[in-house]
Every structure is written in structure tokens, then in C-alpha cells.
Amino acid sequence: MAEVEIRALRKSYGSVAVVHGVDVDIADGQFVVLVGPSGCGKSTLLRMIAGLEGITGGTIRIGGRVVNNLPPAERDIAMVFQNYALYPHKTVAANMGFPLRMKGMAKPEIEARVAKAAAILGLEPYLARYPRELSGGQRQRVAMGRAIVRDPQVFLFDEPLSNLDAKLRVQMRSEIRELHQRLGTTTVYVTHDQIEAMTMADRIVVMRDGHIAQVGAPLEVYDRPANVFVAGFIGSPAMNLLPATVAGGGEVEVGGTRLAAPEVAGLAPGTAVTYGVRPEHLDLADTGLAARVAVVEPTGSETHLVLHMEGRDLVAVLRDRLAIRPGDTVRLAPRAGLHHVFDATSGVRIG
């Protein structure tokens, strides 16, 4: 086990820079999720930690040791790939034992360690099978087995659940999380799925265009997004982000409606801001934002409303089953203190 320290890390392909000076500290035993839309540089960052991708600038330390120029095998890491990357001509046991064989370990010890890992992952009945004879979830488990037999300092996961169906994904999510709690190995996990990030991480690193947009605990990122990008990316359905102006007296004006926002008290009236409120923080009320219902989506446990408000879409999530139909006009009030205000030009959080 070890901590990972990334300092001013940069990556360019020729003249195209894809990672611009990233700093991340990962404490020993922590489960960190790198999340962001595709092309944000998260997979590149992971591959640089793994040593599969050269480093243009900056340093990576694993367990206090600079690994910039070490080949992957000497970094004491293990990686799980999106498409499993199992060796098709080897059995499950041979797949899991391969890294140990490469280390020149004695056969009895390889067998013992493979058996131990197989027991942890429930793979004992499949050890003699070939990857093509396994289901997607079993293959993913073998890939994890191949990673844990080595007992590495750091686990790296590159979108490991993207190829699985929705139900299996939820199951594997908690399995990976449980495995981490059991082994306590430092883990870096890449995903584009913000639900995976929220549910699995000790700490989330939200990335955008090769920069870090925010680092924090999942609920911290959810409750206090540092900027408009994070606000819109984390949470589902996504946060409503509405153009607003400072009205004075600790209020903002959104589409003709004045809403309380104490954090703007210091700003000059008329300043343009972005007002954000999560769909689950909107309640039906007599006052508040007036909007026309466009679509009603009952999910069973809650009701999603898609509304139009002066040419903008607004989404609300209500816990109750209501007799609302498309075409109705309703008023929605943000819950006190659960809104967000961002600078209209820079997108940075205010307050």
C-alpha cells in the first residue's frame, strides 16, 4: 500500500496538450475516482500513473518513489481494463497466475496465491475454464483477480464496468467497493459515470479539458460544486442552471421572480450571475418560479417534471404522485439554503 502524489503533471501529443499541470494527492488506502466527460484526460492520467503513457512534464510518486521513468512492471501497480484484457488462450488460473510467473515465482506459491484470490472473488469453480466460456461479470472478476494476486501498492481501474449491463454494473460496483474495504489498497478508478463516482469514491476528482475542476468527498462535491461545470456534471437529473441578475437585498431575479440568495449581498445590483438549483430541491408552492409542464415522467418512487420557463428547460423531481398534466402551469419554490450561485462569466461559485 502506498500514497500517490501527482505534481504539475502534463501530457502533450506533439503540439496538442491534453493534460495541463494536474496536482492530485491520494492518501494511503484511499479510493479515488477520476470522473469527467470523454476527452477530459482522465484515462490519459491513469495510463500515465500506470506507465503506459509517457510523461511530458511534472512528477508522479508512488509510495514516495518517483516513478516517472520506471516501466509499468516496476511501479508495483495492477490495472483492470474496460474490455477485461484477459489472455484468450490461457485458463482463468493461468491468467491470474501470469504476473506471478513473470516475476519468476515458484509454482506452488503461484497456485496458493491464485487460490486465495479466487476464493475472495468466488472464482474457484471457474479456474480451469477459458475466458470465452465466462460471462461478462465473471470475466471482469478474473481481471480483478489477476490484479489482486500481485498484492500491488496501487490498483488502477479504467472504466471497468462500462461493458456490463445496468444490473450487473450495480452489483459489481458494490463488489469492487467491498473488495477495497477488505484489502485496503490505494485505488484510482476512472469512469465517465457520475453515479459510479458518487457511490464508490472516498474522494472524487472531477476533470474537464485536462484540468481538475474540483476535488472533494462525493457529498462535498454534490453539496458545494466549485463551478458551473461540476454543478451540471455531478447529480442526476442534472442541476437546473438559470441566468439571473442580482436584485439587491440579498435576492436574485430569475425570469422575473425574486428569490432569496444571501451570498450575493456584496454584489452590485444588476450583476449577471447563474442561479443553480437541483431538481430534487424544487417544491410545488404558491410562489416561486412559474413554469409550464411539458412532460411528466413517473418513475414509481418519484415523479420527474420537465418544464418550460421562458424558453428554458427546467427539471423538477417530486416525491409525491401528483395530478399534474402536460400543459399545466405550476409554481416551484427552491428549498431555503439549497441553491447555488455562480459568476456568470467565470462560472466560479459565489459564497
Partner 1 sequence: MAVASQDNAVQTGRAARVFVYLVLLLFALFYLLPLYVMGVNSVKPLEEITGGRMMSLPETFTLAPWASAWSTAQIGVEPTGLRPYFINSLLMVVPAVAISTVIGALNGYVLTKWRFRGDTIIFALMLFGCFIPFQIVLIPMALVLGKLGLAGSVPGLVLVHVVYGIGFTTLYYRNYYAAFPTELVRAAMIDGAGFFQIFWRIMLPVSGPITVVSVIWQFTNIWNDFLFGASFGGTSQPMTVALNNLVQSSTGVKEYNVHFAGAILAALPTLIVYVVAGRYFVRGLMAGSVKG
Asked if residue 67 lies in contact with residue 152, where contact means CB atoms within 8 angstroms, the answer is no
Q: Which CB, 100 or 228, lies closer to partner 1?
A: 100
Asked if residue 9 lies in contact with residue 21, where contact means CB atoms within 8 angstroms, the answer is yes
Shortest distance in whole angstroms from residue 82 CB to partner 1: 8
Q: Which CB, 146 or 340, lies closer to partner 1?
A: 146
DSSP H or E segment with residue 60: strand 57-62
Q: How many residues does the structure list for the chain?
A: 351
Closest among 205, 195, 174 to 23, alpha carbons compared:
205
Asked if residue 66 lies in contact with residue 73, where contact means CB atoms within 8 angstroms, the answer is no
Shortest distance in whole angstroms from residue 123 CB to partner 1: 17
Asked if residue 196 lies in contact with residue 173, where contact means CB atoms within 8 angstroms, the answer is yes
The single residue listed with the C-alpha cell 424544487 is: 282
- DSSP class of 53: S
Binding site for partner 1 (CB under 8 A): 50-52, 71-73, 77-79, 81-83, 85-89, 98-99, 102-103, 146, 150
Shortest distance in whole angstroms from residue 346 CB to partner 1: 39
Shortest distance in whole angstroms from residue 146 CB to partner 1: 7
Shortest distance in whole angstroms from residue 83 CB to partner 1: 6
Q: Which CB, 50 or 179, lies closer to partner 1?
A: 50
- DSSP β-ladder status, 31-35 and 203-208: parallel
Q: Which CB, 95 or 214, lies closer to partner 1?
A: 95
Q: Which CB, 158 or 196, lies closer to partner 1?
A: 158
- DSSP β-ladder status, 251-254 and 240-246: antiparallel
